[in-house]
Amino acid sequence: MVDADASAIESESERMSGTDKTKPRAELPGPVVVLVEPQLGENIGMAARAMGNFGLTRLRLVKPRDGWPNMAAERAAAGADHILTQVEVFETVEAAVADCALLFATTARAHDQAKPVVAPEAAAREIVTEVAQGATAGILFGRERWGLTNEEVSLATRIVTFPVNPGFASLNLAQAVLLMGYEWFKLASGGEIPFSMPERSERASQHQMEAFFTNLVAELDKVEFLRPAEKRDVMLVNLRNIFSRMEPTKQDMHTLHGVVMALAEGRKGPAKGGVLDGGQATRLRALLAEQGNGEGGSSSVRGLARLLRRNPTDAERLLWQALTRDRRFAAQFQRQTPVGRHIPDFVSFSRRVAIEIVQPGEGEVVARDRAARTAWLAERGYRVVELAAAAIERDIETALATIEKA
């Protein structure tokens, strides 16, 4: 059990650091990386790690100073074991590159040899083309202290050098491998980044913006924020422009409205008996009506649903008390609970029944949303019961009988 827990912790740590072994590794035919007389096992391991970052798998070593295999290399590879287990070791550079039709020598120094000198991007383009034709391409990397000799550079088809600070041009071995691997992988894989910003919900409608702004102004008036009176209109224009410049999404509006309601009602709710007045309930439900095309499980929408649970209208409170006390329905219904992307007023998952309360004075948007929600629930096997708030307050027993018939 301890071993399983340790494995789980290690896997989670790797995912957090960006190494997720549950995802498939990129399998792209790439160039051979040749390290000439590397001195430290740690440098070999870090070079292998850089190769793994960019899909390179073929590593060759020429006379590693500390021999092979090397425990220090395994520790520094940070999980690039699939590269180290396939390492090939050679006694000479000539033997290590014998099968390479295209060979690049990396160096920060001019070797005064009459052969093309290219940047990593140009080298990567040639490598991609060569490998696509079935040929072997290789990249030579020199010793940590003094790089490649003139004789070793003479074996190469091209020289690769990096656009670095001329007064501090030396890179460590892993950095040089990483730069070449990055340029090659970018071309070979099409340059797609692994993730992007999550898709935002659609832009907020004018109705949603107006409902939020109306509520915001009402709360600001309660604390006399919009004064002096002669500056009220200018302040309102400035406030409206702040939100219109943002081009907020529906999700943004849900969040902002939840913030305003939490500040305005969060502490006053219990003192007022926990009841929203009709205007507040209508505005809040109008905003939730816009949720029809959003993500029902989002934290902000759940927050608004919790606000409705804490502040029921008279009809909701009356029906909730009746449902919890009546033996026919006890412990079967929940209030303001998301069902997929929708939030009916009451729902019984065991009975597959949803209850919608029709509030007085509800507008067209709310009615249209209810119709869409009813159709969505019906398609998934729910029976939807609509009850007028006035009817519930007038005769709760008749309302319960209607629910029982469903």
Same domain, 405 and 388: yes
pLDDT above 50 (res 269): no
Contact 346, 335 (CB under 8 A): yes
Residue 247 lies in a domain: yes
Phi and psi at residue 159, in whole multiples of 5°? -110, 135
pLDDT above 60 (res 359): yes
pLDDT above 80 (res 5): no
pLDDT above 80 (res 346): yes
Last residue of a domain, which of 154, 188, 222?
188
Same domain, 140 and 89: yes
Whole-structure pTM value: 0.52
How are the residues of the chain apportioned to helix, strand and coil, as percentages rounded to the nearest 5? 50, 10, 40
Residue 386 lies in a domain: yes
- The pLDDT, as a whole number, for residue 110 is 82
- The pLDDT, as a whole number, for residue 246 is 85
Same domain, 43 and 57: yes
Angle between helices 364-379 and 278-289 (to 10 degrees): 50
- Mean pLDDT, residues 62-87: 91
Same domain, 324 and 396: yes
d(CA 343, CA 165): 60
Strand, coil or helix: what is 33? strand
Same domain, 281 and 341: no
Question: 232-250, pLDDT tens digit by residue?
Answer: 999 999 999 998 898 888 8
In which domain, by residue range, is 270 found? 197-311
- The pLDDT, as a whole number, for residue 367 is 80
Same domain, 264 and 366: no
Same domain, 345 and 400: yes
Last residue of a domain, which of 311, 332, 363?
311
Return the beta strands (E) in 220-338 as ranges: 334-335
- Give me the CATH number covering residue 354: 3.40.960.10
Question: 275-300, pLDDT tens digit by residue?
Answer: 555 556 556 665 665 554 344 445 55
Strand, coil or helix: what is 34? strand
Residue 11 lies in a domain: no
d(CA 104, CA 157): 6
- The pLDDT, as a whole number, for residue 268 is 45
Within 13 Å, how many C-alpha atoms sit on residue 300's CB side?
A: 20
- Mean pLDDT, residues 228-232: 88
- The pLDDT, as a whole number, for residue 272 is 42
Contact 106, 161 (CB under 8 A): yes
Last residue of a domain, which of 292, 311, 330?
311
Mean pLDDT (the chain, rounded): 82
Same domain, 260 and 367: no
Residue 334 lies in a domain: yes
Same domain, 272 and 288: yes
Same domain, 26 and 171: yes
- The pLDDT, as a whole number, for residue 307 is 62
* CA dist 62 → 108, 148, 338 (Å): 20, 12, 63
Question: 8-56, pLDDT tens digit by residue?
Answer: 444 444 554 456 666 666 678 899 999 999 999 999 999 999 999 999 9
Which of 103-107, 191-195, 278-282, 300-304 has the largest mean confidence? 103-107
Same domain, 381 and 317: yes
91 C-beta neighbours (distance < 10 Å), count: 9
Number of domains in the chain: 3
Residue 14 lies in a domain: no
Same domain, 85 and 102: yes
- Give me the CATH number covering residue 154: 3.40.1280.10
pLDDT above 50 (res 395): yes
Q: What is the DSSP letter of 109?
A: S
